[in-house]
């Protein structure tokens, strides 16, 4: 969440008599490796989807993009266990009651000022990582029977299993596309409705948050 000595009063900091829960500060939140992962994963997923949808019949580049995505996901799993506090899964896996409570106030027209991924954002992160991971893994087993674009592990499973993997790989592409669209929509919603910029912190690593941590 950023150490105390990393924090400084934000331009919108609290004043005497103000609601303490709305006083703000700017903290160092997202570490460099997490930020590089975020943008690299976005590029990898986009490249894999575009190559799969519009690329050449030879899917070699599509496969390599998939391998890159798998490598990035492996890093994220490790970083979610041993990385800085805001990057760890434990910091954004919330109880259903906390998710519901956050959802009830979602449309308040003010920044959430959350220190890290908010409860709904945490659900989305897990959903996206699972969907992208499942799609990449199924791609290892696909066999479209064209003798060209055969997954590297297809020979280790039955023909029926390879066909099932291909069906799931195709279906999950649509799921990932829908999640990406939802992600972009959420960014626009927070920027225009809640006046909260979610992009800049993922570039600079710093975010203006409320001094009062709602999880405390």
Q: Which pLDDT tens digits describe the chain residue by residue (216 residues)?
A: 333 334 333 444 444 445 555 688 999 999 999 999 999 999 999 999 999 989 888 899 999 999 999 999 999 999 999 999 999 999 999 999 999 999 999 999 999 889 999 999 999 999 999 999 999 999 999 998 887 899 999 999 999 999 999 999 999 999 999 999 999 999 999 999 999 999 999 999 999 998 766 665
Residue 177 contacts residue 49 (beta carbons within 8 Å): yes
Sign of CA dihedral 204, 210, 212, 216: negative
* pLDDT digit string, tens, across residues 109-144: 999 889 999 999 999 999 999 999 999 999 999 998
Q: Residue 118's Cα: distance from chain center in Å?
A: 12
Q: Residue 150's Cα: distance from chain center in Å?
A: 29
Q: Which domains does the chain have, with CATH numbers?
A: 32-199 (1.20.950.20)
What crossing angle do the helices spanning 119-139 and 159-192 adopt, rounded to 10°?
150
Task: Dig out the tokens for 198 from the structure.
Answer: 């979610």
């Amino acid at each position: 969440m950023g150490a105390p000595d990393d924090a400084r009063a934000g331009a919108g900091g609290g004043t005497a008599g103000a609601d303490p829960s709305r006083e703000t500060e700017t903290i160092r939140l997202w570490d460099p490796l997490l930020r590089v992962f975020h943008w690299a994963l976005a590029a990898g997923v986009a490249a894999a989807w575009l190559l799969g949808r519009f690329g050449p019949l030879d899917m070699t580049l599509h496969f390599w993009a998939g391998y890159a995505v798998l490598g990035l996901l492996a890093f994220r799993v490790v970083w979610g266990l041993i990385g800085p506090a805001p990057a760890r899964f434990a910091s954004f896996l919330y109880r259903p009651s906390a998710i519901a409570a956050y959802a009830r106030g979602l449309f308040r027209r003010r920044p959430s000022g959350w220190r890290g991924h908010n409860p709904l954002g945490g659900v989305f992160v897990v959903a996206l990582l699972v969907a992208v991971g499942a799609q990449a893994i199924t791609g290892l087993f696909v066999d479209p029977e064209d003798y060209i674009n055969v997954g590297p592990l297809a020979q280790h499973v039955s023909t029926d299993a390879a066909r099932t993997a291909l069906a799931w790989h195709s279906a999950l592409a649509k799921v990932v596309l829908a999640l990406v669209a939802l992600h972009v929509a959420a960014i626009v919603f927070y920027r225009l409705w809640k006046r909260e910029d979610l992009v800049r912190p993922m570039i600079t690593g710093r975010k203006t948050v409320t001094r009062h941590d709602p999880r405390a």
